[in-house]
Amino acid sequence: MLPHHVNLCQRVFDRAKAARRISVESDANDPVAALVLTLYRHGVHEEDDLLARVLAALDEES
C-alpha cells in the first residue's frame, strides 16, 4: 500500500472509532482495523463509502 492509501485507511479507522466511541485500550480496535483493510482491499476506496460500510458492519456485529 502506498502512503496515501495508508492515510485514507487510518482516517477511516479513526473516524469509525470516534463514531462508535471505541477507546484506544479497547479490544475492538483490531477487528475495526481488519475490517477497514479488508474492505479497502476488496475495492472500497472512497473514504466516505468505506466509513459507511465499516460502521454498518460494526452495527451488524452488535
Average pLDDT, the chain: 94
pLDDT at res. 1:
85
The total domain count for the chain is 1
Residue 62 has pLDDT above 90, yes or no: no
- Residue 17 has a CB neighbour count (10 Å cut-off) of 19
Measure the CA dihedral 50/52/55/59, to 10°: -130
Residue 60 has pLDDT above 90, yes or no: no
What digits encode the pLDDT tens for the residues 25-54? Answer: 999 889 999 999 999 999 999 999 999 999
In the three-class reduction of DSSP (H, G, I as helix; E, B as strand; rest coil), residue 47 is classed as: helix
Q: What is the pTM of this model?
A: 0.91
Cα R_g (the chain), whole angstroms? 11
Averaged pLDDT for residues 9-27: 95
- Expressed as residue numbers, the domain containing 14 is 3-61
Q: Are 15 and 37 in contact (CB under 8 A)?
A: no
CA distances from 14 to 2, 19, 29, 48 (A): 18, 9, 10, 13
